[in-house]
Chains A and B, each alone.
Chain A
Amino acid sequence: IAGITQAPTSQILAAGRRMTLRCTQDMRHNAMYWYRQDLGLGLRLIHYSNTAGTTGKGEVPDGYSVSRANTDDFPLTLASAVPSQTSVYFCASNEGVNSPLHFGNGTRLTVT
């Protein structure tokens, strides 16, 4: 079934540890995004990539990095996790500017 796969589904991480959240899509979408979702704050954009080889900063990029080596994969890395990064992380993709986002099932991350 075509779509976006995120891994892991959930993770408990000690503060200070490095963590990479994986995201793979098989729809050949050019654009991919990482959002975090926190209660009362909605979905906030962390980083995005309009096409393979390019990335950009979203609304809340600090403490996160991304790479886009190919069309399908868009990993999100927390270099040194902090408790404020406890959240649900959603990866998304779309075909173009006016097309809807397709979301992965999310990664629930708890930083202790």
Chain B
Amino acid sequence: GQNIDQPTEMTATEGAIVQINCTYQTSGFNGLFWYQQHAGEAPTFLSYNVLDGLEEKGRFSSFLSRSKGYSYLLLKELQMKDSASYLCAVRDRSAGNKLTFGGGTRVLVKP
């Protein structure tokens, strides 16, 4: 089975930086995805990591350490529109490469 943990909620100020951590336990790690989900909407893809290191996409970056079973999503220069839930999802070979999602982290950006 898989266990994916991420904080339930975080609050940050507009213009600041927020780091959302995700830890996981899998027997056949085969990639980690981050999704953004605004309230009442569908999740949308943000980033994908399969090798160790940092992937940068504009204001968003995602980091992976496979040996530690750890990833983080870094949101820089926060904007009000970044208020959303951020979902960590892990692909596991031993589960037929299906994605398993964490419970999501709700980020509230305050002025």
Contacts and interface: CB of A to CB of B under 8 A. Distances in A.
A100 B45 contact: yes
Contacts, number: 48
B103 A105 contact: no
Nearest to A96: B97
A103 to B, nearest CB: 4
Interface stretch (B12-20, B36-44, B75-83): B36-44
A30 to B, nearest CB: 13
Interface residues of B, number: 23
Contacts of B50: 98
A40 B48 contact: no
Given A42-B87, A45-B100, A58-B98, A101 B45 contact: yes
Interface string A47-90: 01000000010110000000000000000000000000000001
A99 to B, nearest CB: 9
A98 B31 contact: yes
B33 to A, nearest CB: 6
Interface in B58-82: none
CB-based closest 3 A-B pairs: A100-B45, A103-B42, A43-B101
14 contacts: A35-B101, A42-B103, A43-B43, A43-B89, A45-B98, A45-B100, A48-B98, A90-B42, A97-B91, A100-B45, A101-B35, A101-B45, A105-B41, A105-B42
Interface of A: 33, 35, 40-45, 48, 56, 58-59, 90, 97-98, 100-106
